[in-house]
Structure 1
C-alpha cells in the first residue's frame, strides 16, 4: 500500500516540469517570431524604402522584395510611393498683360525621383502637393503676366499660346521641385479657364472683334480674287478685240486691193464705160431716196443723165431713132429737173 502511494507522487512531480518546458519553448518561439518580424520588412512594387538608424538615413532600397534591418528603435524602414500622381491645383485668379482677370484651374503630373531627399524635405504626399501648389501658382502668375488674354482664348488658333505657357511653367517648376524636394514634375497643364463677371463683356467683345477681322480678311481676299478675274477678262477681251480688228483690217485691205484690181481691169477693158459707171456710183451716194435736185447735166458726175457714151450708142440697134437735138443743146448747156422719187 505504501509502495503504490509513492509511485503516484513521483508521476505528479514529473508532469508540471514537462509543461514548464513546453511553455518555455513556446515563449522562445513567439519571441523569435516577434524579433524576426521587427527585423524584416517588405518593399512592394511601385515603392522604395529608406532605412534610418536612430533617425539618420543609412540606405535606400529601390527594388521590391523582403529585406532585413535592426529592430525598432535601432533602425526603421520608411516606405515611399514612387508612382505617378495627378494633382489638381485650386482655382486661382491671375492677371494677364492687358490687365484682364482670369481664374485658372491647372493640374500637375508628378512622382518621387529621389526618395531620400523627398523624405528629408517634405516627408509625405500632402506636404509635397502643398509645395507644388505654391510653386505652380507663383510661376503661373509670372508667365501669364507676360501674355494677353488672347493667348488663352481666341477664335484665331494662331494666337493661342496655352502650350507655350504650360511649357514655360513646367520648365521652371520642374527644376525647383527636383533640386529642392526630389520630385520629378512631368506635366503642368491648364485644365479650365473661368472669367469673373466683369470680364465677360471684354471677352465677348474680343471674340466679336476677331470674328469681324476674319470676315474682313475673307471679304478682302474675295474682292482681290474677283478683281483678278475681271482684269483677266478685260485683258482677254482686249486681246480678242485687237485680234479681230487686225483680222478685219487685213480682210478690208485684201478686199480693197482686190476691188482696185477689178476696177483697174474694168478701166483697161473700157475706159469710157468705167468712167460712166463710176459717175453713176457717185450719183447713188450723193442723191438720197427722197430728194429732188436741179443741176447742170453737162458736167460730171451728172453728165450720164444726158445720155449714154458714144461707145454704148454705137451698140444700139439702127432701128431706134437717135435722141432729138435742138438748138438749145447745140448752142448752150441745158438744165434738167430730175425727180428721184420724193416730193420737191
Structure 2
C-alpha cells in the first residue's frame, strides 16, 4: 500500500515539476501571464520556472517574418489607376507592447500591418506620377514608407518593419486596353514622324545627288569637247604640215590607202573610166595620167 502511495506521490511530483518548467528558444520571444494578466515580459532564452495552473506562458516567433499585403488599387498623381501587390518583412521588438496591442495574435498583427502598408502606399502613390512609381523614384518611395511604418508600428504594436517592397504593379483590366491602345497610337505617331523625316532627308539627298551628277556630266562633256577640239586642231595642224612638206607623197599615200580599202573585198565592183584620176598612180609612178 505504501509503495502505491509513494508511486502516486512521485507521479504527482513529476507532473507538477514538468508543469513548472518551460523553455524559451533563441528564435522565440515569450511573456509570462498570471490568470491572464501580464506579469513578466520579454523572457530571455533558456530554462525557466512557473507556477502550475497559475502562470501561463505565451511564445511568439522572434525571427524575421513576412506579411503579404492584399493587392489594392491606387491612383497616381495624374489620376491613373494601378494595381499594386506588395509585401513587408518585420519582427517583434517589444514583446510586451506586441502582446498588449494584438493579444499575441500574429494573424491580427499581419492584418494591422497589411492595412498600414496599403494606407502608406496609397499616400505615396498619390504624390507621384506613374513613371516615378514604376521606375524613377520607386526605391526612394519604399525607403520613405519603411521609415514611416517602422516609427508607427514600433510605437503601436512593438513591431520593427525591416523592409517594404512592391512585387508587382499592374494596370487594372478596365483601363489596361485603353492604355495599351494609347501607347500603340503614340508609338505609331512617332514612327510616322520618323518615316516622314526620313523621306524628307531621302528626297533632299537624292536631289543633291542628281544635281551633282548633272554638274559632273556637264563638266565632263565640256572637258571632252575641249580635248576633242584640241586633238582635232593638232591633227589638222599635223596633216597640214605634212602636206606642205611633200604634197605629191601625201597624195600618193592617201591613194594607196584608198586602194586598200576599195579592193579589200573581192565582191566589190567599181565602174570607172580608164583615164579616171583615181587610177593615176596605177598608170605611172609619177601619178600623171596619159594624154
| Pairwise TM-score range, normalised by the shorter structure | 0.5 to 0.7
Deviation (angstroms), 1:261? 1.8
Whether contact under 8 Å (1:88, 1:105) holds in the other structure is no
Over 3 Å counting, the alpha-carbon distance change for 1:194 and 1:57 in structure 2 is farther
Instruction: Give the Å deviation of 1:213.
Output: 0.8
**Does 2:145 align with 1:172?**
no
Secondary structure of 1:78's partner?
Answer: strand
Q: Does the Cα contact within 8 Å between 2:76 and 2:130 map onto a contact in 1?
A: yes
Q: Which has the higher contact order (CA 8 A, sep 6+)?
A: 2
Please tell me whether Structure 1 or Structure 2 has the larger radius of gyration of its CA atoms.
1
CA gap 1:151/1:195 in 2 versus in 1, 3 angstroms = farther
Q: Residue 74 of structure 2 contacts residue 84 of structure 2 at CA under 8 Å; is this kept in 1?
A: no
Match of 1:55 among 8, 27, 38: 38
Measure the CA separation in 2 of the matches of 1:58 and 1:190: 36
CA distance in 1, matches of 2:204, 2:47: 88
Greater CA drift, 115-124 or 130-139: 115-124
Deviation at 1:119, TM superposition (A): 3.1
Aligned length: 243
Q: Identify the match of residue 256 of structure 1 among 219, 229, 235.
A: 229
Between 235-244 and 35-44, the greater mean CA deviation after superposition: 235-244
TM-score of the superposition, structure 1-length normalised?
Answer: 0.55
Provide the C-alpha distance between the structure 2 equivalents of 1:265 and 1:90, rounded to a whole number of angstroms. 106
Q: Is the 8 A contact 2:29 2:42 kept in 1?
A: no
Unaligned runs of 5+ in 2: 245-286
Q: For the residues of structure 1 that align with 2:21 and 2:178, how far apart are their CA atoms?
A: 68
| 2:183 equivalent to 1:183 | no
Rounded Cα–Cα distance in structure 1 between residues aligned with 2:66 and 2:199:
55
Match of 1:187, SS? strand
5+ long unaligned stretches in structure 1: 1-18, 153-158, 272-314, 320-344
Change (3 A) 1:163 1:249: same
Superposition deviation, residue 90 in structure 1? 4.5
- Distance in 2 between residues matched to 1:151 and 1:252, nearest whole Å: 71
- Residue 106 of structure 1 is matched in structure 2 by 85
TM-score of the superposed pair, with normalisation by structure 2: 0.63
Q: 1:101 to 1:263 in 2, by over 3 A?
A: closer
Change (3 A) 1:22 1:162: farther
